[in-house]
Structure 1
Amino acid sequence: MDRAGVGKATAATAVCVTGAGGFIASWLVRRLLAGGDYAVHGTVRDPSDPKNDHLRTLDGGGERLRLFKADVLDYSSVASAVAGCAGVFHVASPCPAAKSTNPEVELLAPAVTGTLNVLRACREAGVRRVVVVSSVGAVFINPNPPEGPTMDEHCWSDEDYCRSTENWYCLSKTLAEREAWAYAEETGLDVVTVCPPLVFGPLLQPTVNTSSLFLIRYLKRDGVDAMDDRVRNMVDVRDVADALVLAYERPEAAGRYICSAHARKVSEMVSVVRSLHPDLNCQNKFVQLVGDEKVFSSEKLQKLGWKFRTMEETLNDSVESYMSARILS
């Protein structure tokens, strides 16, 4: 692959962000607009929907942000948004809060076909590099994991095991990332993937995303007597946005990158929140579990220059955001 054309933008280079109104994508759009180097084409389902208004109010949004009505399953709409862009960040991917009743339609087709449509459009438009947001869900769901607690970019989730356990989200991310690499190998398109775990941090969008709902569930008792105290891997959404820009701008970036900052038991996370916000009625009963819990190595991404926030900063900023939005009180 020719990586010579990849690098930091000059003169407001145009890049596209799919699913621009989502949690990670909103912070990525903010990050790209902030320096003045980029003009952003953001794809959304409906540019006139008020839930996308937060994008227009970002610094630089009035001058260097264009919202395109696009569905990743509609190739022509994706191609229109990608046209004229030097780089593309494919962030859009379904992540339902509840169990899917029709995974083929709700999860698998949008993830796999949508990713291939984006990659095809990128190749046709002569895009220099595509950064695909995958997930550690494409890394660790495997009945025969490697020995030791740490998993890295060489690890893949087992597709058959995902199907047999009906883990449709992780299957969708695994299939989509596999297809991305197959397409890159076949066509020579420059693709880099980034795999975050649970993503926390302050909200920009008016809706609550699935990762944030996960944290909120542990902070609100809501009549639940006790919760499983598993080790969870987490990362700040602002640090994910930084990682995605690094993966695009650094010419030497290649392959997969795990983007995980902290591995902590849920009880430890809640304890941190309780110490920072003692008035919150947080969950205080947990069921201790014993199992083969995994942590993810971000060493490869750190060698690229990535840094991350402390867990305390991420959790505090998350909670203050939820309180400001009256999600927590």
Structure 2
Amino acid sequence: MESISDKPLVLVTGISGYLGSWCAKKAIDSGKYKVRGSVRDKDNKEQMEILEEGFGGDFKDIEIVSADLRDEESMANAVHGCDYIIHVASPLPLTTPKNFEKEVIEPAVNGVKYVLQASVRSTVKKVIITSSANTVQDQLKGDGTYGKDSFIKEHKGMNGYYRSKNRSEKFAFDFMRSLSKEDRTFEMCVINPGIIVGTTFLRNAKGAVLGLFTDALNGKKISLPQTYYPHSDVQDCGDAHVNAIELGEDLCRYPLASGNMKFRAYFDYIKEEFEPKGYKIRHSELSKCTIWIGSLFNKDAKNFLWQWNVKAFMDGEYAAKKLNLTYKDARESSIDLANSLINLGLVNQPKKK
């Protein structure tokens, strides 16, 4: 019987995040790998307690290291001795900061840069990088279906997060193609998820979608943009990253989408499922006029204008076939996420009549 020490070592950067935690869990559950997970500060007692609570009995087998996307040495130390890297960590601000170049774009690009540089002539055999649907579906170009060969150009309407994904993915491919034959000692591929929804097992998992789900289940009225997105279940995303270790082809991109839908549909699903159980889900769509007025004062509102009701869809069939995925649909993912938030105590229980 193979001991855990004999298994290949996989580094998952950003293991304390929504997606990173699932990548680590899927790697462990496969039985094929031992896992090293990076966090910004492993001496953060509260964060470690949350990780231990979430991973349960598996936590004792995870090696936790400190690594900061802005610090080359710490990233190189995290990479040292690994066989594979799943690089998920990237800044994901809930609102666009004033200096998004320094606070969002630079750390995202440098994180990719430091991981790839440290992998040259090392023990690393493959790097899997988490990118985004935002580098694939061209909402500025307009309606249509976009796949693995579509890479959009950066434009003025992009917010800091979109730009960070665009530039970091472009950097990754440029870096790999610039390496000499002697330095091309590992492979690299990219996973491009859409809107990520589904079960969370960490009670501090963050993200705009998780926040909106929590608010909706707690009875707060939420106003939504009229935008369309590709859907990706978080567990499908985890499977995609782990399966790419063996199945991902060098310099290939894998857009993940079980379907494409209007954003409000997620909240229609939980309204249908949870209102009969006593929860009050109050959501509505904003008008374009409201968003336009808001865009004069708010960068995040401005970001929605060029996406407004554009049906720029993403094709996820290639990734499903190549990475051996069976996608969950958006309704199932929505209900899974809502139930997990309730089970983690992040949602107020409805009052009994």
TM-score of the pair, normalised by structure 1: 0.87
Identity of aligned residues (%): 23
Q: Is 2:103 the partner of 1:111?
A: no
Q: Distance in 2 between matches of 1:251 and 1:152?
A: 16
Q: Is the Cα–Cα contact under 8 Å of residues 51 and 59 in structure 2 kept in the other structure? A: no
Counterpart code for 1:56: E
CA offsets, 1:58-108, max 9 Å, x none? Answer: 266345311111112222211221111110011000010012111121111
Distance 1:62 1:168, change over 3 A: closer
Indicate the residue corresponding to 1:280 in structure 2. 279
What are the ranges of 5 or more consecutive residues in structure 2 without an aligned counterpart? 289-307, 349-353
Match of 1:47 in 2: 42
Give 1:247's match in structure 2, choosing from 244, 247, 254.
Answer: 244
Aligned pairs for 1:62-81 within 5 A: 62-81=59-78
Stretches of structure 1 that go unaligned for 5 or more consecutive residues are 1-8
Instruction: Quickly say closer, same or farther: Cα 1:68–1:149, change in 2 above 3 A.
Output: same
- Give the corresponding residue for 2:174: 182
Displacement of 1:265 in angstroms is 2.1
Aligned residue pairs: how many? Answer: 315
Alignment of 1:186-197 (within 5 A): 186-187=178-179, 188=184, 189-197=186-194
CA distance in 1, matches of 2:318, 2:118: 29
State TM-score, norm by structure 2: 0.81
- Give the 3 Å change call, closer, same or farther, for CA 306–241 of structure 1 in structure 2: same
* Pairing 1:132-151 to 2, within 5 Å after superposition: 132-141=129-138, 143-145=140-142, 148-151=143-146
Q: Is 1:213 aligned to 2:211, yes or no?
A: yes
Range 199-208 or range 89-98, more displaced: 199-208
Closer/same/farther in 2, CA of residues 281 and 229 from structure 1, 3 Å limit: farther
> Offset at 1:130?
0.2
Contact kept in structure 1, 2:7 and 2:33, CA below 8 Å: yes
Deviation at 1:212, TM superposition (A): 1.5
Distance 1:269 1:326, change over 3 A: same
| d(CA) in 1 for partners of 2:74, 2:11 | 13
Q: Match for residue 27 of structure 2? A: 32
CA RMSD after TM alignment? 2.4
- Aligned partners of 2:16 and 2:205 also within 8 Å: no
Aligned to 1:262, which of 235, 259, 278?
A: 259
Contact 1:19 1:25 in 2 (8 A): yes
Distance across 2 between alignment mates of 1:237 and 1:288: 30
Give the distance between the partners of 2:224 and 2:198, measured in 1 at CA.
22
1:48 maps to a residue whose letter is D
